[in-house]
């Protein structure tokens, strides 16, 4: 194998326990010779923590597929930093990326990592039921790869999915979301949560064809991307039961009322019962839980033992996700409600405390600093905000 020569066009990057060589870059884009995004370091940190948590629930060492390897940083970190990894497969269609990955594997002294240059879908189809973990982190939408990922994962295995096409999933561009995910997005204050739910619903419907059902373990919306961690169970009856979490959200743009409607083809009201405004309808999407509270607790327990530079950011994110993990779908925005009421926004913590005093669930959300996740009806939330 030809080695990559050391010159000024190469730089060394350090993450976690690994060090890799990458081409010099001025701007992150799909046109880069080999794709490496330093902004995604927190994503990779959380992935290591989540996969270590998943590994500790298994009775055997795990095999991992990183379907879009780039420089190899993610797969190399999985091999080096997660205890109990049998092997890692790193794949990329770019021949230069494969070359960099091989060099970086040697640089880190790893022996349980294999590199492939293959179309991601073809590789995963070839490896039917082989992997305990399949990680999909493409540039853009993951939708063309979900079915192959579902096929390549073992029953009980984990899928880790990143989507950077947030403009589609979060409602800025509706047609691409319909085309890629078969779902109508909503451009609301909770649009990024909707994006997570659209992606989860798409995965649930796709995996159901193979009598596989999803269980969400952890999810987050950070900066320019959405990320899901879920396990795949097996069985027709459980899959049918899981699909009952699919439905729609109707949202009133005038008074901010919203309602969840379960089912694939339910009867959907056209008018808001509060003000008579025409509803906006989003879905189909996942209306079930986005978080497994116990899984997040275990991630928080594991985090101190894993050396990462983004530890403060990771702790803050996991804490917020834990707080909202038992909350309902959607959330209210303090500033948007205050604007509707034509008042200055009161302190968020005072609103949360008052809701809890009245025995409602109330928490912040990691998605928006001014978000209020609660099971209280809208009129109660408005009354509390108005009187504070």
pLDDT, tens digit, for every residue of 330-367? 999 999 999 999 999 999 999 999 999 999 999 999 99
Q: What is the mean pLDDT of residues 359-388?
A: 97
For residues 300, 301, 305, 310, the Cα torsion angle rounded to the nearest 10 degrees is: 10
Average pLDDT in the chain: 94
> Within 10 Å of residue 327's Cβ, how many Cβ atoms?
20
Boundaries of every domain in the chain: 10-324, 332-387
Q: What is the mean pLDDT of residues 298-303?
A: 98
CATH 3.40.50.720: does it fit domain 10-324? no
Tokens 């979060």 belong to residue: 170
- 240-256 pLDDT, tens digit per residue, is 999 999 999 999 999 99
User: Can you tell me the distance from the alpha carbon of 113 to that of 298, in angstroms, rounded to the nearest whole number?
Assistant: 27
Asked whether residue 102 carries a pLDDT value surpassing 50, the answer given is: yes
Model pTM above 0.85: yes
> Within 10 Å of residue 195's Cβ, how many Cβ atoms?
28
Residue 243 · residue 161 · CB < 8 Å: no
- 7-24 pLDDT, tens digit per residue, is 557 888 899 999 999 887
* pLDDT at site 75: 98
Residues 6+ apart with CB under 8 A from 44: 15, 16, 73, 74, 77
Q: Which two tokens stand for residue 246?
A: 């699919």
* pLDDT at site 202: 98
| Assigned CATH for 332-387 | 3.30.56.70
> What's the pLDDT band for 39 if we cut at 50, 70, 90?
confident
> Within 10 Å of residue 130's Cβ, how many Cβ atoms?
17
* Nearest CA among 160, 159, 154, 161 for reference residue 59: 154
Burial string for 133-145 (b: 16+ CB within 10 Å, else e) reads bbbbbbeebbbeb
* pLDDT at site 27: 61
> What's the pLDDT band for 320 if we cut at 50, 70, 90?
very high
Residues 6+ apart with CB under 8 A from 59: none
């Amino acid at each position: 194998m030809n080695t990559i020569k050391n010159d000024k066009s190469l730089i060394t990057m350090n993450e976690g326990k690994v060090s890799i060589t990458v081409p010099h870059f001025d701007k992150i884009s799909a046109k880069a010779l080999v794709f490496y995004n330093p902004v995604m370091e927190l994503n990779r940190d959380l992935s290591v923590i989540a996969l270590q948590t998943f590994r500790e629930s298994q009775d055997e060492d795990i095999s991992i597929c990183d379907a879009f390897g780039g420089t190899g940083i993610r797969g190399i970190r999985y091999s080096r930093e997660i205890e109990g990894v049998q092997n890692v497969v790193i794949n990329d269609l770019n021949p230069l990326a494969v070359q960099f990955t091989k060099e970086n594997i040697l640089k880190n002294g790893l022996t349980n990592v294999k590199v492939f240059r293959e179309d991601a879908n073809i590789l995963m189809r070839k490896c039917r039921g082989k992997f305990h973990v399949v990680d999909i982190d493409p540039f853009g939408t993951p939708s063309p790869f979900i079915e192959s990922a579902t096929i390549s994962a073992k029953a009980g295995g984990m899928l880790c999915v990143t989507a950077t096409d947030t403009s589609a999933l979060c409602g800025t561009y509706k047609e691409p979301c319909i085309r890629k995910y078969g779902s109508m997005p909503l451009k609301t204050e909770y649009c990024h949560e909707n994006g997570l739910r659209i992606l989860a619903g798409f995965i649930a419907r796709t995996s159901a064809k193979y009598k596989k059902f999803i269980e969400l373990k952890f999810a987050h919306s950070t900066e320019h991307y959405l990320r899901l961690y879920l396990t795949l169970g097996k069985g027709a009856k459980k899959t049918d039961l899981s699909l009952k979490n699919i439905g729609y959200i109707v949202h009133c743009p005038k008074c901010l009322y919203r309602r969840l409607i379960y089912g694939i083809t339910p009867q959907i009201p056209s008018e808001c019962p509060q003000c008579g405004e025409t509803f906006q309808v989003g879905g189909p999407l996942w209306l079930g839980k986005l978080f497994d509270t116990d899984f997040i607790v275990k991630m928080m327990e594991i985090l101190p033992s894993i050396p990462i530079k983004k530890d403060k950011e990771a702790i803050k994110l996991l804490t917020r996700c834990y707080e909202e993990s038992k909350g309902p779908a959607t959330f209210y925005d303090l500033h948007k409600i205050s604007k509707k009421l034509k008042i200055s926004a009161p302190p968020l913590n005072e609103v949360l405390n008052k809701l809890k005093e009245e025995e409602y669930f109330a928490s912040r959300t990691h998605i928006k600093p001014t978000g209020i996740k609660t099971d209280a009806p809208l009129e109660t939330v408005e009354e509390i905000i108005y009187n504070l």
